[in-house]
Structure 1
Amino acid sequence: MADNYYPPVGFYFKVNVIGVSGSNEGNFQEVSGLNIKLETQEVKEGGENRYAHRLPSPPKFQNIVLKRGLTTSSALITWAKAAVEQFTFSPKTVVINLMDENASPLASWNIKNAYPVALQFSDFKAQENGIVIETIDLAFDYFTRTF
């Protein structure tokens, strides 16, 4: 970016599912679920009644949700259908790149051992003039972010 003091925009990104090929597989309208949350558990100490120790638990991750317009032929949908219809899982690494105006990655999120857990299609409504959206939910082990 020309000026590193301005925050990057969130509308220019690319998604790559490593091992799932296709010319337009990474074109999505929306990606959500890049969240980490640490829970705490309380541990009471014998003889100490004023407080309980609050210790961190392992992190919890939400599912990654990918949304795009319906495609008629897609290796990504074939991979998702194998999981949700045939219960055949093939975990993949998913890389999400936030791009700058020169199409260079500003930040990358590497999602490890992702696999589809839901495949949804938007409602069909005769009174609206919208495109059909396909949504893929991915469960995964963890992700890392790099700049």
Structure 2
Amino acid sequence: MANNTSAGGYYPPVGFHFKVDFVGIGNDNDSRFQTVSGLNVEYDTEAYKEGGENRFEHKLPLRSKYPDLSLKRGMLTDSKVIRWVLDALQNRTFKPVQINVMLLNEEHQPLKTWNIFNAWPKKWAVSDFNAQENSVVIETLDISYNYFTVK
């Protein structure tokens, strides 16, 4: 396994070599996405004003919040993941799954894995069709989830 160091120092991993695994559904093509966004977490806070202290407010952490996960790829015509999405959006049959987003190294092994829990489809969009352009149809999935862990 190659390491990310050299005589000049550390080289961070590249952001274009990754895989998305929908645990229990999908196939090899369902793991290939163009972009993944929304892997961040932040705390809601509450301001507390201390009597007699006028220079600042105390900010106390409340609960963490996670934005929707957004996945984009060239449209697949036969996708188990899209069947899962449409089953939720059209039939209101929501079956939450775990999604693993893996940042890969040169040997296609995971460097970091984000395990996303209780994920369910919130939105599915398809790019515009335009007879004057020669472009690939892109589908976008917006996924809501409870939380993620990083390994």
**TM band (smaller chain):** over 0.9
SS in 1 for 2:134: coil
SS in 2 for 1:25: helix
Q: Which amino acid aligns with 1:55?
A: L
Q: 1:127 aligns with which of 129, 132, 144?
A: 132
Q: 2:123 aligns with which of 101, 118, 129?
A: 118
Report the aligned-residue RMSD: 1.3
Alpha-carbon distance in structure 1 between the residues aligned to 2:128 and 2:28: 27
Could you tell me which residue of structure 1 aligns to residue 11 of structure 2? 6
| 80-89 or 90-99, which deviates more | 80-89
- The reply on whether 1:67 has 2:72 as its aligned counterpart is yes
Q: 1:43 deviation in Å?
A: 2.2
| 131-140 or 47-56, which deviates more | 47-56
- The reply on whether 1:76 has 2:77 as its aligned counterpart is no
Query: May I ask how many residue pairs the two structures share in their alignment?
Result: 145
Output one character per residue of 1:59-96: Cα deviation in whole Å (capped at 9) or x when no partner. 11111111111111111000001111111110000001
- The reply on whether 1:44 has 2:49 as its aligned counterpart is yes
Gaps of 5+ in 2: none
- The reply on whether 1:57 has 2:62 as its aligned counterpart is yes
Alpha-carbon distance in structure 2 between the residues aligned to 1:48 and 1:6: 50
Structure 1 residue ranges, 4+ long, deviating more than 3 angstroms after superposition: none
SS in 1 for 2:82: helix
Could you tell me which residue of structure 2 aligns to residue 144 of structure 1? 149
Alpha-carbon distance in structure 2 between the residues aligned to 1:85 and 1:48: 57
Q: 1:23 aligns with which of 1, 22, 28?
A: 28
Cα pair 2:66 2:147 within 8 Å, conserved: yes
Gaps of 5+ in 1: none
Q: Which amino acid aligns with 2:3?
A: A
SS in 1 for 2:3: coil
User: TM-score, normalization: structure 1?
Assistant: 0.92
